[in-house]
Structure 1
Amino acid sequence: MIAIKDKLTIDTWVTANWNEFIEVSENPAYQKARCYYYNGKMRIETMSIGPDHASQHGTMTFAINLFCTFKGIPHRGLVNCSYRKTGVRESQPDISYYLRERVQSAPTGSSVVDLDQFSPPNLAIEIADTTLSDDKGEKRLLSEELKVDEYWVVDVQKAQILAFEILADGGSRRIYQSQALPELAISVLEEALERSRQPDQSQVATWLVTQFQQV
């Protein structure tokens, strides 16, 4: 039998059992990769290092933190945090948030978050530069299984956000105003992403403050 590491293709879904996934995800060679497991398949994904991805990642976290601060919403944001349902699934979104009452029981430490012990985050966000199709597809289905409240995909090239509410009875639906962060319109975040394309981003914060003061 060929070892899974010998037939592994990066940035695509590969059939593997759970033990094979753990073996690969714990391999030092993939320390800087992002790891997903869903429906009997794993995906080892190289992290984007481009400036556009980095810029929009920073804009999203800043905007959400600022909105929560203005609205007095308790929040804990995590970057590239892995969430694991042992033997079943694992996800590592670019950004995730625990909100309101879940903040008090949000995970800490240096290990993968064990979903048998902790609740999933309220919000999971993928910043999609070269992974848009997969982020809209398999990873959205994975987020539905993880039972987050909302799942967002940021299209880096278009500075657009595909936001989905995860439904209690299964599936998800497109939304244009966040339910996890009430009164936050997705269009405001998209405008912030567009404004952040400018070399000098100092005006983005001022503009966001003005917008959040109005809601």
Structure 2
Amino acid sequence: MTRSRNRGRSLEELERDRWPAPPTDATRLVATAHALRRRPIDELTVEDLRLLIGQDIGLPYNHLGHFRLATGLRRALAAASGARVVVVSSSAQSKTANVLFAVEADKRWAADGIRVNALHPGGILTNLSRHMDPEVLERRTVDRTKPTKTPQQGAATSVLLATSPLLEGVGGRYFEDCNEAETAQDTQPYQAGSVSGVTSYALDPEAAARLWEVSLDAARR
């Protein structure tokens, strides 16, 4: 059915159906997505978010995969009575989506006894970096103003959120270094390994609600 309906149609015509008021070519579409990535997420519209989910290659595995897994397990989590969901985030746009997911999921699921928090584990030296260019890895290590962690140190905040009785009934928050993160200046320039805290737009409840609806739509495709 879909193939016969699309036979003979140009890529531009198909894009026009998919994106409201789309750019005239793929180059402008990508340029628009890059421009949107530089805007605070709380200023993005639902259509902006839909476009970004279609263009950001990190969103499917950094956010949507986690979203589908967690929402698919909701009934089992509720049946467990007192379940916790720990979302590992860090920096960059698709990782900000992880924090917004934690905010909205906690709001929606707290009544079922499910609490959701997000965290930044810190910079950790593991075998994941074994394929990186040695010079690039060395430069990143030298440029860091925060010390690099061992795997055990990097796992500490995750274990705390999953098991500590001190966090009973706590949700919708962002943690780092085994403490709740302070709100950082939204205009603070990002530099890998040097920025602490969480920006206010990453915890914005309205942005979290909008992203949830867009994620539901994307997950159904």
Larger RCO: Structure 1 or Structure 2 (Cα < 8 Å, ≥ 6 residues apart)?
2
TM-score (norm 1): 0.24
Q: From the two aligned structures, give the one with the greater strand fraction.
A: 1
Q: Which structure is larger by alpha-carbon Rg, 1 or 2?
A: 2
